[in-house]
C-alpha cells in the first residue's frame, strides 16, 4: 500500500460522498475522527428522520464502512483497483440513499448484544452480515428492526 494510492482512494470516496450529498437537500458531508492521530473519516449524513449515515475508512486496498447503529462492512474486492473499490462504495451509497438498507439490533441493558444487516444493491443482489457481541440465551435482549428510509 502506498500513501499516494491511499490518498487517491480517499479523495475518490470523498468526491463520491459529495456527489451523493448534492443530490439531496437534506444530505451533507462531515468528518469523524479516524483511528490515527489527526485523521478524518468522511461521513455522508442526512437530516431527514429515519435515515442513516455512512462513514468510510478508505485504504489503498480495502474500504471499511460504518452505517446504521451497529453495521460494519469491510470491502475486499478480488481485483483491488481503485475503480473496483470506489465502484462498490458507489453501489452501497446508492442503496443506502434510496432506502435499501435494513438492520436488526438486539439490546440488553443498554448494550447491543447482536446485530444483523442487509443491503440490497440496484441489481437485486444483497450484501448481508451479522455480529454477536455477547452470546447465550441470557444475552439475546430486545429486538429492534429498522428499514432505513431513503434520503429525501
Which one is predicted more confidently, 138 or 15? 15
Identify the pLDDT of residue 1. Answer: 46
> What pLDDT digit, counting tens, does each position of 17-54 carry?
999 999 999 999 999 988 887 789 999 999 999 999 99
- Per domain, the residue ranges of the chain are 3-98, 102-147
pTM across the whole model? 0.86
How do strand 101-108 and strand 71-75 relate by DSSP bridges?
Answer: unpaired
The residues pairing with 55 across neighbouring beta strands, listed in sequence order, are: 43, 66
d(CA 113, CA 127): 21
* DSSP label of 124: S
pLDDT band at 103 (very low <50, low <70, confident <90, very high): very high
3-98 placed in CATH 3.40.50 = no
Amino acid at each position: 500500500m502506498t500513501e499516494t494510492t491511499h490518498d487517491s482512494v480517499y479523495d475518490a470516496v470523498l468526491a463520491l460522498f459529495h456527489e451523493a450529498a448534492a443530490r439531496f437537500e437534506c444530505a451533507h458531508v462531515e468528518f469523524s475522527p479516524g483511528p490515527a492521530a489527526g485523521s478524518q473519516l468522511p461521513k455522508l449524513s442526512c437530516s431527514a428522520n429515519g435515515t442513516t449515515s455512512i462513514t468510510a475508512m478508505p485504504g489503498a486496498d480495502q474500504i471499511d464502512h460504518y452505517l446504521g447503529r451497529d453495521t460494519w462492512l469491510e470491502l475486499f474486492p478480488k481485483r483491488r483497483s481503485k475503480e473496483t473499490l470506489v465502484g462498490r462504495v458507489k453501489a452501497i451509497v446508492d442503496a443506502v440513499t434510496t432506502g435499501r438498507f435494513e438492520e436488526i439490533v438486539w439490546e440488553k441493558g443498554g448494550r447491543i448484544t447482536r446485530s444483523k444487516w442487509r443491503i440490497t444493491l440496484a441489481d437485486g443482489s444483497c450484501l448481508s452480515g451479522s455480529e454477536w457481541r455477547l452470546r447465550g440465551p441470557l444475552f439475546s435482549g430486545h429486538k429492534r428492526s429498522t428499514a432505513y428510509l431513503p434520503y429525501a
